[in-house]
Each structure stands twice: as structure tokens, then as C-alpha cells.
Structure 1
């Protein structure tokens, strides 16, 4: 009888510990960890941060622009640069001094300024850059700072012992837009391909509107377990952002 009670007690303690562990993981509260007039960093999960910088535009005013920082075992991969070299310098300094981590790669998700406007700063710090091959071509055509490495097939890089993936699913905001995915936390950086809730269609000068929804449908099939989606502009959310964007560009 005593042995049975002891076994039951051990099982109860184990279940309680497991429950607390899951509650801890599910109850992570996002927090702003750095803020100046040019750069904001928000921690959105245990290992991931959204960086936000600003781009002055003629049509849309001073636009906040997002990127994603993935951190693991003192290594970092960043999707999209801040919009300028000075704000990129600020971000690199923050990573070095606060996270005490090595930036292994910077990945611009398409060729516009809000993705690679601060690329030169990363190159000056000897940080390797990777982009879809069309992004490299378009950057050259527009006399922008050019990524050093290109890929056609999905790019998989290690952050510590975890993978990140950059993949082109099709055209939408631009012909070259890719999305970033961190499977360990089921976080996707959608860049300008993905719209925040209630957003309008935005800049369409390089877009393929007729393919936009189809491209995102492919992403949903590939990554059905997405928990957090970071768009290129506006508030991050969950898979509802993909559904919203699909409906926004769906053609009858």
C-alpha cells in the first residue's frame, strides 16, 4: 500500500512539473527590450526578436519596417536589415553588447530599401549576407548594396543547433520575395509578402497581384504549425495574417 501511494505521489509531482513547464512556455509575454528614435527591438519569444526601423517615403510617410532576429546558443541570424546603415550599426551593437552573440548571417527577403537598406553596415562588420538569386540580380540593377551569396533552392542555416529556413514560394509583393522560418519556435518572418491585420495593399509597383494569394496558400501548406507571423510592416500575429492577406488579394 505504501509503495502504491509513493508511486502515485511521484506521478503527481511529474505531471505538475510538466504542466508548469508548458504554462511557462505558453505564457511568454512579449516585451520591448530596446528603443531609440531609429530602432526598436521587441522580444516576441524565448529565442526571437522583432527589430523595427523607419523609412521615410513620399506616398506613405514615415513607415515602420520590421525584421526578425533569431538567437540560439550565442549565434544569431537576422532577416532583413534595418532601413539605413546607421540603424543597422545600432542593431549590430545591441546584439554584440546585449545578447553577446555572433551574427552568422543577414538575409534580405527582397530587394527593396526596407529589406537591404542597411546591408553595407553588415558587410563592413564581415557579416555574410544571403539572398534569393533574383534579389541579388535586382539589387545590382538598382545599384544597391548587393548580397554576397545567393540561393535558388531553400536556404537552411544553423543557429546554434537549430535550423532556420529561407524559401521562395512564388511571386507576390515582388518577384523575389522569400519568407524566413524558425521551426524550433514555429515563427515565420513573412516580410512584405504578408500583411498585418486591417492593412491595405500598400506599394504594388513591383507586385504580382494575381499570384499573391496562391503564393501564400503554398506557405500555409508547407508550414501548418505556424504560431507567430511577423509581417514586413505593422503588428505581428498568428496564422490569421496569412488568411487576411490571401483574402486581401484573392481574385474572383
Structure 2
């Protein structure tokens, strides 16, 4: 007698397709919210943190950062905008996620990236930044990250890795992007714009180099699924295209 397993195999394939699709359509949800800090889970192991910075030109501006997790360890791209909000984020990670913060990585030297850095240092959390970021922070008398890199930085977080790389000038002369390969997620920081954004603050920018820098990023990460910009709504690779076109138009 001939026995066929066609139906079970078909059912298994259907299950796998549905399961993978469900992972790609994770529904973001706010998991922590106060007047100073909002944390939004945006994938199984990634959380966007948002705090506000009062500015002279643009008012009270919401600023994004990213927490990525593997097992019981996390890495954070950009601090909240002040030490109070940073303390909240650290406490939430340690108490609610029950994770250790293994690294804080400011992606450039402005307040919206390292304004809460002192709080991380007070907790003896290692800080890493591109060498120019450290130079510029010290020149401004800001709290400066303690560990510098020039070549791409690769940090192990639990069983996974995060990478941080400088691709060229744009929003600033030191802006880097972070990547979380296991979830094909990028933290673009202020180098990457949300859809329909304006050019924003250009006081430290290299506008002519900006589109070329982002084109390099697009080439390096063709599989990116989620991009978190420094300000505004996250998206996919369309944010890279939008940023390139925005600064190609002078």
C-alpha cells in the first residue's frame, strides 16, 4: 500500500508561512508611558524609546532611541534627552524586562543623543561612540562617551550582535547608524528622516554629502525591514529613499 504525506507537509508549510508572516506584522504597542518617557515595543526584541527636547527653533521635539534585546542583555542607541528620563529607562529595563544594559551608544554629539548620558555612567553602564562624537562632545563640555571606535563596532548582546558604523557626513560630521541583524532593524538616528519630514536643523550638517552617505547605507543593508529615525515615525527602506531625495533637491 502506498502511503502519501502530501497533506501533512502542505499543512506544515502553510503553518510556517503564516507564522513567519505574523512575525513580520508585529503590532507595535506602548508598554511604558509617563510625562517624560514613552517606550513602544516594535518587535519581539526591540523597543523604541521617546523623550522630548525643548529647542529654540522647533519647540518641544520628540526624540527617538532604540533598545534591542537578546536573552537577558540589551543595548541602547541614543540616550533619552535628560538624566531623569534616562533613569526611568534604565529602571524599566532592569525591573520590567529583567535585563542588563550592556551598552549605550550615542549616534552623534547633540543633546537628543547623549543628553542623559550621565545617568548611564552613574550606573556604570559602558558607553561607546564614534571617535569624532567624543571629540565634539568634549569640545561642547557635554558628558562624553568613554569608549571610542573608528572602524565598525560589533557588540555581542546575548546570543546576537549589534553593529555601529560611520558611513559619511550628513546631519553632522560624526553621525553613525546602528543595525540589529537578527531582526533586520536599523536605528538611523537624525541622519534618516521620517516620510514627509523637512530638512530640520542644519547647523552642523554637510548637506551636499548627506544623500551619498544614505545611498551607502542603503547598499550595505538591502534586507532592512524596520528603520527608526531620530525623530518621527519609523518605517522601512522608503525612509532611506525619502532622505536621499530630500537632500538631492537643493
- TM-score under structure 2 length normalisation: 0.97
Whether the 8 Å CA contact 1:74–1:101 is kept in 2: the answer is yes
Give the counterpart of 1:130 among 128, 131, 143: 128
In structure 2, what is the Cα distance between the partners aligned to 1:205 and 1:98?
Answer: 39
In structure 1, the partner of 2:228 is 230
In structure 2, C-alpha distance between the alignment counterparts of 1:242 and 1:16, rounded to whole Å: 33
Task: State the match for 1:119 in structure 2.
Answer: 117
Select the residue among 190, 194, 199 that pairs with 1:196. Answer: 194
Which residue of 1 is the match for residue 159 of structure 2?
Answer: 161
Give me the whole-angstrom Cα distance separating, in 2, the residues matched to 1:246 and 1:14. Answer: 42
Q: d(CA) in 2 for partners of 1:229 and 1:221?
A: 14
CA displacement at 1:23 relative to structure 2 = 2.8
Measure how far apart 1:159 and its partner are.
1.2
Greater than 4 Å deviation, 4+ residue runs = none
Kept in 2: contact 1:139–1:145 (CA 8 A): yes
Q: Gaps spanning 5+ residues in structure 2: where?
A: none
CA–CA separation in structure 2 for the residues paired with 1:133 and 1:23: 40
Match of 2:90 among 92, 107, 127: 92
Partner Cα distance (2:212, 2:80) in 1 = 28
Equivalent residue number for residue 3 of structure 1? 3
| Aligned mate of 1:29, from 12, 20, 27 | 27
Task: After TM superposition, give the deviation of residue 8 of structure 1 in Å.
Answer: 2.1
Q: Distance in 2 between matches of 1:8 and 1:240?
A: 40
Greater shift in the superposed pair: 216-225 or 26-35: 26-35
State the secondary structure of the residue aligned to 1:181.
Answer: strand
The count of aligned residue pairs is 250
Q: How does 1:39-54 map to 2 (within 5 A)?
A: 39-54=37-52
Residue ranges of structure 1 left out of the alignment (5+ in a row): none
Q: Give a deviation string over 1:107-134, Cα, whole Å, max 9, x none.
A: 0000000000000000000100000000
State the Cα deviation string for residues 146-195 of structure 1 (Å, max 9, x = none).
Answer: 10100000000011111100000000000000000011111100000011
TM (normalized to structure 1)?
0.97
